[in-house]
Structure 1
Amino acid sequence: MGDALSATEARERLYEVMGRDLPFEEKATLALSVGETYLSVENGHLTRIDPESDYWRAIASTDPEGGTFPAGLQLDLRNTYCRLAIDGESPVRLHDAPEQGLADDPAFQRYGLHCYHGSAITIDGELFGTLCFVSMEPRAEPFDEAETLFAELIARMLETELQEARTDAKIDRLDQFASVVSHDLRSPLNVAQGRVDIERSSRDSEHLEIAARSLDRMEDLIADVLTVARQGQEVEETELLSLDAVVEECWDAVRTDDASLSVAADLRFKADPSRVRHLFENLFRNAIEHGGDDVSIRVGPLDDGGGFYVEDDGPGIPEADRERVFKTGFTTGSEGIGLGLAIVEGVVEAHGWRIAVEEGADGGARFEVSDVVAP
């Protein structure tokens, strides 16, 4: 334990630590050290827990190597106070465990810990572990609300760091997946397309035409898979766009046959142009696939000006399916594999927007995108 810190000094020191560009374990240990000093306890720990296997491991600790609870130590969860922290709705605050009725608790019996302050750490709604501060000796006074709030602040800040690290890891895996798909699938596909084109140039064959269409379809599917893999990354740079101009450009890129498009009014908004094109192209393809070659599509701004809609006069989407249509793999068609609307949702989420499915004026599907940033 170091010199006592005031609440203001502790917060300032914590913010300074969390703002550094450091490996997670090092940053977590420094944050624990601030908490240890402010709470006047002997050690602080960040743990990883699996209740099903009673697994407990200290992934960061202020206890040095050779101490009682150093980083890397594995224990049986059943012999720790952390089992109480993950079962309760509020932090566990023990300033003197025996005096608080826990003299027979396994954690006290085995390790002699009088003092414990622990909070659960969750990521994506699932238990990760705990943030805890401990001492062999009891505290003279119970933990007060300011101390508990500060410990909770550390817990939430470390949760955020862990969430960001998990998200970055997912993005890295998606990038690797996209690279493999792009090279290992597209290369042999391009070879096959080239061979088929050579054969088609020298002779007519219905079988070759079917093969060519199948290869083109495979190319489209690979492009969709790559788009889904890359949509998870948040938008960092945006441009001021015109709804009318973007819609017309996307309409030209879609096989429209006898379908028609109308734009009710223009709207200026900020977005990533490339991703927004994916959004409109997939909504248009979805309307044509389900509404037929002669479907009519309307696009325009929402009444409050905070977004836009894409509406068609096709058969619409049953209310029971509206929550499921954006799930990867969900489809009611015979040709698609359920990626189009998943791509749309990915674009929306990457921008921080919202999307909802409603019934259109003519009974068709109406997709409303809201919370769109205006200039």
Structure 2
Amino acid sequence: MRPEWPPSERRGEVSVLHVDDNRTFLDETAAMIERESGQLRVTSLDDPTAVLSHVENETVDCVVSDYDMPEMDGLELLRAVRERFPDLPFILFTGKGNEAVASEAISAGVTDYVRKTGDSETVEMLCNRIENAVEHARTEERLAYESSLLDTLFERVPHHLYVKDEEGRHLRVSHAHIDEPEQLLGKTDRELYPEGHAADTYEDDMRVIRDGEPIIHKEEHTNESKAETHSFDRVYEQYELEPVTDKQRYDEWALTSKVPWRDDDGEIIGLIGITLDISDRKHYEESLERHSERLEEFLAQVVHDIRSPLQVADSNLALLREEGLDTDRLDSIERAHGEIGALVDDLSRFARHGEMEPDPELVDLEGLVEQIWERHESADATLSVGSLPAVVVDRTDVRRLLTNLVDNAVDHTAPGVRITVGPLDDAEDGGIFVEDDGPGLPSDDPGQVFEAGYTTASDGTGLGLSIVETIADRHGWEVVTTESDTGGARFELRF
């Protein structure tokens, strides 16, 4: 087949197919044409019956053909070409034609007709006619190509796309707006929409056209009440339109952009606009806001409800100290109360501000790990702690992170597990690791252990390691899972 080409890519050189049964004339004409015009490249054929095959397989911008040829005359060739390639420029270049031939050629769809005279002026005229014919054909194809793209946009884009003239009248409307967009043509918003909405949109239209400044992503509340919805129904009934679907009817929230439409001289002749339905997004945002408000209220109540029994526990702890009970045990209970209190403070801060930003201070990680281990001192497990650095972090956050890593090692391994916490020597900005000699992480996808809800324990919540990743992200750390030297799980925290 003749190669297709996007109109924007075929510029400059023009491929000409010259057909004549006189080989000498073909050679002489090709030389004169290419000498006369630097952009014309001529291919010569002395057999008109081979033209269709050539055009099918090669790029041809224009056919120049003699009329009087023995096997197929120029008119027969023209008709054959027009049947297969109706838009290909075809110039009849002959010295034996007459007015009857010219008239018949015009009826058959010839692009131009040039008489052979044998002088240089004829070749100059032929070159001009070829260039003009090809430029016109390319322009027509480009316009058809652009028109096809525009048609596709207006037919397929699932948004309200429209073009208006300088008076605000609709010239074209996408099919996503209504089933029969032609019903809106020639009408302004004032003729189509309720008064309040029409005034706003018309004012925006005139401002874009008058000032030449676009309106980009303006939020519009287009369905403010049931009464307005009924008004839209009456407008549709008034103009006897097919109503749009429930999902696409004049939605509560829309995002509108309008830009000036200019002619070739730069004069504003209207506008082009697009309106996106963002009702689902706005409704989700409203629902999320309501949910957040309820969550804040719930957290405030939880904080209150936890503080009360915690105060009772602290009071009883103080009484036990006064009675001289085991102080080591009481110290552990007091530290646990402190952890609970710190978590309650976090919940309170989140309930008030909706965020959990770190509250940094210098923390001795080695001492913190040892404090955490006191919770497991009766467990059938051992801990080895290397020389850990002191870092500026949120103490409560990092306590939770390390506690969850230690708990994970104890809860997901067999009795007698050995846990090691040490510094990362290869981390550029420092870091620590927590590893064990247990069975290790899932071999198929170790990263899934950080997914909320993932657990291999029958009574596990699947939240511990998810909390680890969340806290690490909040501090700008990277959590890496790998395998320890003994085949157990290893978690690396790179600062």
TM bin, normalised by shorter chain, reads 0.3 to 0.5
Higher RCO, Cα 8 Å, sep 6+: 1
Q: If the length of structure 2 is used for normalisation, what is the TM-score? A: 0.37
